[in-house]
Amino acid sequence: MVVAELADEDLDGLFHALADTTRRDILRRCVRDEPSVSRLAEVYPMSFAAVQKHVAVLERAGLVTKERRGRAQLVHTDGDALARARRALDELEAAWRGRVERMAGLLGQEGGR
Amino acid sequence: MTIVSVDKDYASLSLVLVAEFDAPIERVWQLWADPRQLERWWGPPTHPATVEKHDLAVGGEVAYFMTGPEGEQTRGWWRVTSVDAPRSLDFTDGFANQDGTPNAEMPTTTVEVRLAEHADGTRVAMRFGFASREHMDQLERWGAFEVFPQSVAQMDALLAATPDQEDL
Protein backbone atom coordinates (compact mmCIF):
# COMPACT_ATOMS: atom_id res chain seq x y z
CA MET A 1 0.00 0.00 0.00
CA VAL A 2 1.06 3.55 -0.51
CA VAL A 3 -0.28 6.14 1.86
CA ALA A 4 -2.76 8.41 0.13
CA GLU A 5 -3.94 11.60 1.70
CA LEU A 6 -6.95 12.21 -0.46
CA ALA A 7 -10.28 10.81 0.63
CA ASP A 8 -12.76 9.60 -1.98
CA GLU A 9 -15.05 12.60 -1.58
CA ASP A 10 -12.11 14.91 -2.16
CA LEU A 11 -11.27 12.99 -5.31
CA ASP A 12 -14.83 13.16 -6.59
CA GLY A 13 -14.82 16.91 -6.19
CA LEU A 14 -11.41 17.28 -7.77
CA PHE A 15 -12.27 15.11 -10.79
CA HIS A 16 -15.56 16.85 -11.36
CA ALA A 17 -14.01 20.28 -11.07
CA LEU A 18 -11.21 19.49 -13.51
CA ALA A 19 -13.36 17.64 -16.04
CA ASP A 20 -14.58 20.86 -17.65
CA THR A 21 -12.61 22.98 -20.14
CA THR A 22 -13.98 26.28 -18.88
CA ARG A 23 -13.18 25.40 -15.30
CA ARG A 24 -9.65 24.37 -16.19
CA ASP A 25 -9.27 27.66 -18.03
CA ILE A 26 -10.61 29.62 -15.07
CA LEU A 27 -8.17 27.77 -12.86
CA ARG A 28 -5.24 28.68 -15.12
CA ARG A 29 -6.23 32.33 -15.08
CA CYS A 30 -6.46 32.27 -11.32
CA VAL A 31 -2.97 30.84 -11.02
CA ARG A 32 -1.54 33.70 -13.04
CA ASP A 33 -3.77 36.40 -11.68
CA GLU A 34 -6.54 37.17 -9.22
CA PRO A 35 -9.42 37.94 -11.54
CA SER A 36 -12.81 39.07 -10.35
CA VAL A 37 -15.89 37.03 -11.23
CA SER A 38 -17.08 39.90 -13.45
CA ARG A 39 -13.85 39.94 -15.39
CA LEU A 40 -14.01 36.17 -15.88
CA ALA A 41 -17.57 36.58 -17.13
CA GLU A 42 -16.32 38.95 -19.85
CA VAL A 43 -13.89 36.30 -21.12
CA TYR A 44 -16.37 33.50 -21.75
CA PRO A 45 -19.41 33.48 -24.01
CA MET A 46 -21.72 32.71 -21.13
CA SER A 47 -23.72 34.51 -18.51
CA PHE A 48 -22.34 35.93 -15.28
CA ALA A 49 -24.44 33.37 -13.41
CA ALA A 50 -22.96 30.50 -15.43
CA VAL A 51 -19.41 31.65 -14.70
CA GLN A 52 -20.33 32.05 -11.07
CA LYS A 53 -21.52 28.43 -11.05
CA HIS A 54 -18.22 27.23 -12.50
CA VAL A 55 -16.34 29.17 -9.86
CA ALA A 56 -18.55 27.62 -7.19
CA VAL A 57 -17.67 24.10 -8.40
CA LEU A 58 -13.97 24.94 -8.24
CA GLU A 59 -14.53 26.40 -4.81
CA ARG A 60 -16.26 23.27 -3.52
CA ALA A 61 -13.36 21.16 -4.83
CA GLY A 62 -11.06 23.33 -2.76
CA LEU A 63 -9.22 24.58 -5.85
CA VAL A 64 -10.09 28.26 -5.54
CA THR A 65 -11.32 30.63 -2.91
CA LYS A 66 -13.34 33.80 -3.33
CA GLU A 67 -12.58 36.99 -1.56
CA ARG A 68 -14.72 40.08 -1.50
CA ARG A 69 -12.75 43.26 -2.08
CA GLY A 70 -14.92 46.33 -2.29
CA ARG A 71 -17.58 45.53 -4.83
CA ALA A 72 -15.51 42.94 -6.61
CA GLN A 73 -15.33 39.24 -5.83
CA LEU A 74 -11.76 38.15 -6.47
CA VAL A 75 -11.00 34.51 -7.23
CA HIS A 76 -7.67 33.01 -6.37
CA THR A 77 -6.33 29.49 -6.51
CA ASP A 78 -5.96 27.34 -3.51
CA GLY A 79 -2.55 25.94 -4.31
CA ASP A 80 -3.00 23.46 -1.47
CA ALA A 81 -5.39 21.25 -3.42
CA LEU A 82 -3.05 21.18 -6.41
CA ALA A 83 -0.09 20.66 -4.15
CA ARG A 84 -1.88 17.79 -2.38
CA ALA A 85 -2.49 16.09 -5.72
CA ARG A 86 1.12 16.59 -6.68
CA ARG A 87 2.42 15.38 -3.34
CA ALA A 88 0.26 12.27 -3.51
CA LEU A 89 1.64 11.42 -6.95
CA ASP A 90 5.19 12.26 -5.88
CA GLU A 91 4.85 9.84 -2.98
CA LEU A 92 3.51 7.17 -5.28
CA GLU A 93 6.37 7.78 -7.70
CA ALA A 94 9.02 7.60 -4.98
CA ALA A 95 7.53 4.40 -3.59
CA TRP A 96 7.50 2.72 -6.99
CA ARG A 97 10.94 3.92 -8.02
CA GLY A 98 12.20 2.19 -4.90
CA ARG A 99 10.29 -0.95 -5.79
CA VAL A 100 11.63 -1.00 -9.34
CA GLU A 101 15.19 -0.64 -8.04
CA ARG A 102 14.68 -3.55 -5.68
CA MET A 103 13.20 -5.63 -8.52
CA ALA A 104 16.31 -4.92 -10.59
CA GLY A 105 18.47 -5.91 -7.63
CA LEU A 106 16.66 -9.22 -7.35
CA LEU A 107 17.00 -9.93 -11.05
CA GLY A 108 20.72 -9.16 -10.87
CA GLN A 109 21.20 -11.41 -7.86
CA GLU A 110 19.40 -14.30 -9.40
CA GLY A 111 21.02 -14.54 -12.79
CA GLY A 112 19.10 -11.86 -14.68
CA ARG A 113 21.41 -10.15 -17.09
CA MET B 1 17.42 -1.58 -15.46
CA THR B 2 16.26 1.70 -16.87
CA ILE B 3 13.23 3.75 -15.96
CA VAL B 4 12.08 4.77 -19.43
CA SER B 5 9.39 7.22 -18.42
CA VAL B 6 7.27 8.50 -15.57
CA ASP B 7 4.07 10.27 -16.52
CA LYS B 8 1.90 11.87 -13.89
CA ASP B 9 -1.64 12.87 -14.59
CA TYR B 10 -2.71 15.36 -11.98
CA ALA B 11 -6.25 15.47 -13.29
CA SER B 12 -7.00 11.78 -12.92
CA LEU B 13 -4.47 11.37 -10.11
CA SER B 14 -2.64 8.54 -11.79
CA LEU B 15 0.90 7.68 -12.62
CA VAL B 16 2.37 5.58 -15.44
CA LEU B 17 5.86 4.25 -14.95
CA VAL B 18 7.70 2.33 -17.66
CA ALA B 19 10.86 0.40 -16.88
CA GLU B 20 13.07 -2.00 -18.79
CA PHE B 21 14.81 -4.97 -17.25
CA ASP B 22 17.61 -7.09 -18.72
CA ALA B 23 15.82 -10.32 -17.95
CA PRO B 24 13.39 -12.57 -19.81
CA ILE B 25 9.69 -11.89 -19.40
CA GLU B 26 9.07 -15.14 -17.49
CA ARG B 27 11.75 -14.17 -15.00
CA VAL B 28 10.32 -10.68 -14.47
CA TRP B 29 6.85 -12.16 -14.03
CA GLN B 30 8.18 -14.27 -11.17
CA LEU B 31 8.82 -11.08 -9.21
CA TRP B 32 5.03 -10.80 -8.91
CA ALA B 33 4.03 -14.45 -9.15
CA ASP B 34 6.36 -15.85 -6.51
CA PRO B 35 5.38 -14.60 -3.04
CA ARG B 36 8.92 -15.10 -1.71
CA GLN B 37 10.27 -12.79 -4.40
CA LEU B 38 7.40 -10.35 -4.07
CA GLU B 39 8.14 -9.82 -0.40
CA ARG B 40 11.73 -8.94 -1.21
CA TRP B 41 10.79 -5.86 -3.22
CA TRP B 42 7.29 -4.80 -2.13
CA GLY B 43 8.23 -3.13 1.14
CA PRO B 44 10.99 -0.54 1.53
CA PRO B 45 14.10 -1.72 3.45
CA THR B 46 12.71 -0.11 6.60
CA HIS B 47 9.37 -1.93 6.22
CA PRO B 48 9.96 -5.42 4.84
CA ALA B 49 6.88 -7.25 3.65
CA THR B 50 5.68 -10.71 4.59
CA VAL B 51 3.20 -12.27 2.19
CA GLU B 52 0.78 -14.58 3.97
CA LYS B 53 -1.63 -15.38 1.19
CA HIS B 54 -0.99 -15.22 -2.53
CA ASP B 55 -3.56 -16.18 -5.13
CA LEU B 56 -2.96 -14.56 -8.51
CA ALA B 57 -6.27 -15.57 -10.06
CA VAL B 58 -9.18 -13.30 -10.96
CA GLY B 59 -10.94 -12.52 -7.69
CA GLY B 60 -7.97 -13.96 -5.81
CA GLU B 61 -6.38 -12.25 -2.85
CA VAL B 62 -2.93 -11.46 -1.69
CA ALA B 63 -2.57 -10.71 2.02
CA TYR B 64 0.58 -9.18 3.45
CA PHE B 65 1.94 -7.16 6.29
CA MET B 66 4.88 -4.83 6.49
CA THR B 67 6.95 -4.62 9.65
CA GLY B 68 8.28 -1.21 10.66
CA PRO B 69 11.48 -0.37 12.55
CA GLU B 70 9.63 -0.44 15.90
CA GLY B 71 8.14 -3.83 15.11
CA GLU B 72 4.78 -2.29 14.23
CA GLN B 73 2.82 -4.16 11.58
CA THR B 74 0.76 -2.60 8.82
CA ARG B 75 -1.51 -4.96 6.98
CA GLY B 76 -2.50 -4.77 3.35
CA TRP B 77 -4.35 -6.71 0.70
CA TRP B 78 -4.65 -7.05 -3.05
CA ARG B 79 -7.71 -8.12 -4.92
CA VAL B 80 -6.78 -9.44 -8.36
CA THR B 81 -9.12 -8.10 -11.05
CA SER B 82 -7.41 -9.48 -14.14
CA VAL B 83 -4.45 -11.73 -14.82
CA ASP B 84 -2.79 -13.15 -17.92
CA ALA B 85 0.60 -14.66 -17.07
CA PRO B 86 3.24 -13.56 -17.90
CA ARG B 87 1.89 -10.45 -19.62
CA SER B 88 -0.57 -8.65 -17.44
CA LEU B 89 -1.83 -8.26 -13.92
CA ASP B 90 -4.40 -5.83 -12.54
CA PHE B 91 -5.22 -5.51 -8.91
CA THR B 92 -6.52 -3.19 -6.24
CA ASP B 93 -4.22 -2.60 -3.30
CA GLY B 94 -5.57 -1.47 0.04
CA PHE B 95 -5.06 -1.35 3.77
CA ALA B 96 -6.33 -4.07 6.06
CA ASN B 97 -7.38 -4.08 9.69
CA GLN B 98 -5.28 -6.07 12.15
CA ASP B 99 -7.57 -9.08 11.59
CA GLY B 100 -6.83 -8.95 7.86
CA THR B 101 -10.22 -7.66 6.70
CA PRO B 102 -10.06 -4.73 4.25
CA ASN B 103 -10.15 -1.34 5.92
CA ALA B 104 -12.91 0.40 3.98
CA GLU B 105 -12.06 3.79 5.40
CA MET B 106 -8.66 3.93 3.77
CA PRO B 107 -8.17 4.76 0.11
CA THR B 108 -7.28 2.03 -2.34
CA THR B 109 -4.83 2.15 -5.23
CA THR B 110 -5.32 0.39 -8.54
CA VAL B 111 -2.30 -1.15 -10.16
CA GLU B 112 -2.13 -2.31 -13.78
CA VAL B 113 1.02 -4.11 -14.86
CA ARG B 114 1.89 -4.93 -18.47
CA LEU B 115 4.95 -6.93 -19.45
CA ALA B 116 6.32 -7.25 -22.98
CA GLU B 117 9.47 -8.58 -24.57
CA HIS B 118 11.64 -5.69 -25.58
CA ALA B 119 15.04 -5.89 -27.24
CA ASP B 120 16.80 -8.61 -25.21
CA GLY B 121 14.85 -7.96 -22.08
CA THR B 122 11.43 -7.03 -20.77
CA ARG B 123 9.58 -3.76 -20.75
CA VAL B 124 7.17 -3.28 -17.87
CA ALA B 125 4.51 -0.58 -17.92
CA MET B 126 2.75 0.05 -14.63
CA ARG B 127 -0.20 2.31 -14.15
CA PHE B 128 -1.24 3.39 -10.68
CA GLY B 129 -4.45 5.13 -9.84
CA PHE B 130 -5.54 6.64 -6.57
CA ALA B 131 -9.25 5.92 -6.75
CA SER B 132 -11.27 2.76 -6.35
CA ARG B 133 -11.99 0.45 -9.25
CA GLU B 134 -15.60 1.63 -9.28
CA HIS B 135 -14.40 5.14 -9.45
CA MET B 136 -12.13 4.39 -12.40
CA ASP B 137 -14.94 2.59 -14.26
CA GLN B 138 -17.20 5.51 -13.58
CA LEU B 139 -14.62 7.90 -14.96
CA GLU B 140 -14.22 5.78 -18.07
CA ARG B 141 -17.96 5.79 -18.67
CA TRP B 142 -17.92 9.57 -18.51
CA GLY B 143 -15.19 9.57 -21.12
CA ALA B 144 -12.97 11.29 -18.61
CA PHE B 145 -9.87 9.49 -19.81
CA GLU B 146 -10.33 10.97 -23.28
CA VAL B 147 -10.59 14.41 -21.78
CA PHE B 148 -7.74 14.17 -19.37
CA PRO B 149 -4.67 13.25 -21.45
CA GLN B 150 -4.72 16.58 -23.23
CA SER B 151 -5.02 18.33 -19.93
CA VAL B 152 -1.89 16.73 -18.50
CA ALA B 153 0.49 19.13 -20.18
CA GLN B 154 -1.76 21.99 -19.18
CA MET B 155 -1.87 20.91 -15.58
CA ASP B 156 1.89 20.47 -15.52
CA ALA B 157 2.32 23.97 -16.87
CA LEU B 158 -0.17 25.18 -14.33
CA LEU B 159 1.67 23.56 -11.47
CA ALA B 160 5.01 24.77 -12.76
CA ALA B 161 3.57 28.27 -12.67
CA THR B 162 3.02 28.15 -8.92
CA PRO B 163 6.57 28.27 -7.57
CA ASP B 164 5.34 29.25 -4.11
CA GLN B 165 3.94 25.74 -3.75
CA GLU B 166 7.36 24.26 -4.33
CA ASP B 167 8.16 23.57 -0.69
CA LEU B 168 4.80 22.14 0.27
- Highest mean pLDDT pick, A7-11, A38-42, B81-85, B146-150: B81-85
Q: Where are the alpha helices (DSSP H) in chain A?
A: 8-18, 21-32, 37-43, 48-60, 79-109
| Alpha-carbon gap, residue A8 to B135, rounded angstroms | 9
Contact of A101 with B1, CB cutoff 8 Å:
yes
Cβ B12–A93 below 8 Å, yes or no? Answer: no
- Give the model's pLDDT for residue A11: 59
Reply yes or no on whether the pLDDT at B118 is more than 60.
Answer: yes
Buried b (16+ CB within 10 A) or exposed e, B77-99: bbbbbebeebeebbbbbbbbeee
| Alpha-carbon gap, residue B1 to B3, rounded angstroms | 7
Query: Which of A19, A28, A88 faces B130 most closely, judged by CB atoms?
Result: A88
Cβ A19–B142 below 8 Å, yes or no? Answer: yes
Residue B65 pairs in a beta bridge with B50, B75
Share the mean pLDDT of chain A. Answer: 77
- Give the model's pLDDT for residue B95: 80
Query: Which of A79, A86, A100 faces B3 most closely, judged by CB atoms?
Result: A100
Q: By mean pLDDT, which of A41-45, A80-84, B19-23 is the weakest? A: A80-84
Tell me the per-residue pLDDT of A22-42, one tens digit each, with 9 for 90 and over.
887 888 788 777 899 999 999
Look at the pTM and tell me if it is higher than 0.90.
no
- Give the model's pLDDT for residue B7: 84
Query: Which of A2, A32, A103 faces B161 most closely, judged by CB atoms?
Result: A32
Tell me the per-residue pLDDT of B54-91, one tens digit each, with 9 for 90 and over.
999 999 999 999 888 888 888 999 999 999 999 999 99
Contact of B44 with A3, CB cutoff 8 Å:
no
Q: By mean pLDDT, which of B12-21, B43-52, B59-68 is the weakest? A: B12-21
Instruction: Write the ipTM.
Output: 0.72
Reply yes or no on whether the pLDDT at A64 is more than 50.
Answer: yes
Cβ B164–A79 below 8 Å, yes or no? Answer: yes
Q: Which residues of B touch A14 (CB under 8 A)?
A: 13
Nearest CA in chain B to A5: B107
Angle, vertex CA B34, rays to CA B32 and CA B37, nearest 5: 80
Reply yes or no on whether the pLDDT at A61 is more than 50.
Answer: yes
- Give the model's pLDDT for residue A30: 82
| Alpha-carbon gap, residue B38 to B49, rounded angstroms | 8
Q: Which residues of A touch B44 (CB under 8 A)?
A: 95, 98
